[in-house]
Amino acid sequence: MKVLLINGSPHAKGCTYTALSEVAGALNAEGIETEIIQVGHLDIRGCIACNRCSENGRCVFDDIVNEVAQKFKESDGLILGSPVYYASAAGTLLSFADRLFYSTSFDKTMKVGAAVVSARRGGTTATFDILNKYFTITGMPVASSQYWNMVHGNSAEEVKQDAEGLQIMRTLGKNMAFLIKSIALGKERYGLPEKEKRVNTNFIR
**Average pLDDT for 90-98:** 98
List beta partners, residue 142. 113
Record the pTM: 0.96
Cβ proximity of 82 and 8 under 8 Å: yes
Quick one: which of 96, 37, 94, 108 has its CA closest to 61?
96
Question: Which domains are seen in the chain, by residue range?
Answer: 2-190 (3.40.50.360)
Positive/negative CA dihedral, 34, 104, 142, 79: positive
- Concatenating the DSSP letter of every residue in 52-68 gives THHHHSS-SS-SHHHHH
Whole-number mean pLDDT of the chain? 97
**Average pLDDT for 164-181:** 98
User: Measured in Å, how far apart are the chain's first and last C-alpha atoms?
Assistant: 45
Q: What angle do CA 3, 44, 115 make, to 5 degrees?
A: 35
Amino acid at 177: A
Q: What is the dihedral of CA 162, 177, 107, 41, to 10 degrees?
A: 30
What's the pLDDT tens digit per position in 117-137? Answer: 999 999 999 999 999 999 999
What's the pLDDT tens digit per position in 102-114? Answer: 999 999 999 999 9
- Output phi, psi for 2, to 5 deg: -145, 145
Minimum mean pLDDT range among 20-24, 48-52, 161-165, 196-200: 196-200
- Output phi, psi for 190, to 5 deg: -115, -20
From residue 20, alpha-carbon distances to 59, 88, 194 in Å are 27, 18, 34
What's the pLDDT tens digit per position in 18-48? Answer: 999 999 999 999 999 999 999 999 999 999 9
Give the pLDDT band of residue 205 (cuts 50, 70, 90). low
